[in-house]
Amino acid sequence: MDQWLEGLEPIVEHQDLKVPYRYSMGATTSKFFIEIRDQKKILGIRCPKCKVVFVPPRSTCGRCFSPLDKWVKVSDQGTLQTYTIVHYPTPVQPAPTPLIYGVIKLDGADTGLAHLINEADYEKLRVGMRVRAVFKEERVGNMLDILYFKPVEISKGQRKKSTRPKVKVKKGGARGVKRKA
């Protein structure tokens, strides 16, 4: 081995890079967030050719390349298409862990919206569950004006059978004790 390598301590340099970004939303996206901010209303945009309602909205239909301008109101309630419970923390995260993150198809939309889920009983979470948007009191015009989606209570008769496998939860184990998020 080269002599100079003997006993050489490898150096690791830590750097925190801070950069401020300011993104223009454009007219279409701005309208979507203004409706949420001012009216607590969620809008979708419809492609007349493909007959698809996009949420979040966009100016061009990716599938047929038509320009889009037909706004429709969609519900603030929808169906949970998929979800996960995130346990590991990282320096950049929208909420403290554990957090639930999922895709919600709002009634009237044909595409899913990714967002946080809260006020949910972990054991009762399931694909197909009905959820409703919870809005912030003071809204500013961005995606976090919706704090999260929470489960909608439905009667026993309407409830579907759980799709989550029954797992024996050990006290203090990975998912811990049954609790609300």
In the complex, which residues of this chain contact other proteins (CB under 8 A)? 2, 4-5, 8-31, 33-34, 37, 58-63, 65, 91, 140-142
- Nearer to other proteins by Cβ, of 75 and 111: the residue is 111
- Nearer to other proteins by Cβ, of 5 and 174: the residue is 5
CB 26 within 8 A of CB 34: no
CB 179 within 8 A of CB 148: no
Q: What angle do CA 115, 112, 102 make, to 5 degrees?
A: 35
- Nearer to other proteins by Cβ, of 80 and 146: the residue is 146
CB 58 within 8 A of CB 30: no
- Kindly state the smallest distance separating residue 164's Cβ from other proteins, in Å: 31
- Nearer to other proteins by Cβ, of 24 and 155: the residue is 24
Nearest to 110 by CA among 50, 60, 65: 50
Phi-psi region of 7 (alpha: psi -120 to 50; beta: other; left: phi over 0): left
- Kindly state the smallest distance separating residue 153's Cβ from other proteins, in Å: 33
- Kindly state the smallest distance separating residue 78's Cβ from other proteins, in Å: 22
- Kindly state the smallest distance separating residue 96's Cβ from other proteins, in Å: 17
